[in-house]
Amino acid sequence: MTRSPFRRLVFGTLRRLLYLWVRSETINQSSFTLNLDRSRPVFYALQSPSISDLAVIDTECRKAGLPRPVLSVAVGNLIEPSAYFYLTPAPDWLGRQDK
């Protein structure tokens, strides 16, 4: 998501615009109470492709001190471009879902 400076600019702008209308509340306020192992990667699973969901999760992770989903993640020798994935695929250009 944030590979190019243009994408970072667009995503940051969308995130700020979204928070003019959306307010979110975090149930668990601190990342320290989760007892996360900082040496292991964290991935986020989103139900369906949604830039607004991704923007809210990114903002909440930043506020809670958790790893951000839009940043790259090192897994062994591999570097993943982002730390999120979708459980359902995006529809094709005709609006059909792949089976």
| Domain range annotation of the chain | 5-27+40-86
Q: What is the DSSP string of 1-18?
A: --SSHHHHHHHHHHHHHH
15 C-beta neighbours (distance < 10 Å), count: 19
Contacts of 72 (CB under 8 A, 6+ apart): 79, 80, 81, 82, 83
More confident residue, 23 or 85: 85
Residue type present at position 25: E
Residue 99 — pLDDT band, cuts 50, 70, 90? Answer: low
Condensed to tens digits (0 to 9), the pLDDT of residues 60-84 reads 888 888 899 999 999 889 999 999 9
**Is the per-residue pLDDT at 2 higher than 60?**
no
Strand partners of residue 78: 75
